[in-house]
Amino acid sequence: MADTAHSAAMASPIPLPLCASEAAGETPLVRARMPELDSVRGVAVLMVMFYHAYYWGMDMSRFPPMERHLLQVTWVGRLGVNLFFVLSGFLITGLLLNARGQPDYYRKFYIRRALRIFPAYLATLLVLFITGISLKFIGLSLLYLSNLYCGPWRCGILQAGRSWPGPRG
């Protein structure tokens, strides 16, 4: 059984320490698969979703005091983005540190990242094109400069007297 654990540790992308805690049956701190981090990632996504759905751009004065306090708690959801980035940085750093002894590890890392990100990115641009978004905006998006075209001062979001996606009226 110990031979199986050792071979699993050798095959994992994150080195699993072979130490006294493993011999005692304790779970090592850093493992190849950490489901608790998936849970934290899910909490971060929910925090952002609740923030955008219930707090951002909403007129809290229309709600009774108890509901208003519950809605104000969702303000913390804006920190979910920070939590998600910190978690991603931890996981990516682990991948890079484990692969640093391999030839061309940076090149392989960036190729894998591009193959993961670009299909969704290009699909989003295709949806923008199909829905009739201006070609100028799509062109700037291809160059990662879309914020220069559609900032709050240019798109009229703040000029309308309310912040999007608040209730209409």
Q: How many domains does the chain have?
A: 2
Residue matched to tokens 């049956």: 25
Reported residue count of the chain is 169
63-87: per-residue pLDDT in tens?
888 888 888 888 888 889 899 889 9
Query: Do 81 and 68 share a domain, yes or no?
Result: yes
- Average pLDDT value for residue range 86-114: 85
Query: Do 28 and 72 share a domain, yes or no?
Result: no
Query: Do 6 and 22 share a domain, yes or no?
Result: yes
Query: Do 86 and 50 share a domain, yes or no?
Result: yes
Query: Do 13 and 53 share a domain, yes or no?
Result: no
Quick check: 119 pLDDT over 90? yes
Between 32 and 144, whose confidence is greater? 144
The domain in which residue 58 lies consists of 35-100
Answer yes or no: is 54 within a domain. yes
Query: Do 40 and 83 share a domain, yes or no?
Result: yes
10-69: per-residue pLDDT in tens?
455 555 554 555 555 677 666 767 788 888 988 999 988 888 887 766 777 888 888 888
Answer positive or negative: Cα dihedral of 32, 36, 38, 44: negative
Answer yes or no: is 118 within a domain. no
- Please tell me the pTM assigned to this model: 0.53
Answer yes or no: is 63 within a domain. yes
Q: What secondary structure letter does DSSP report for 100?
A: T
Last residue in a domain, options 100, 116, 135:
100
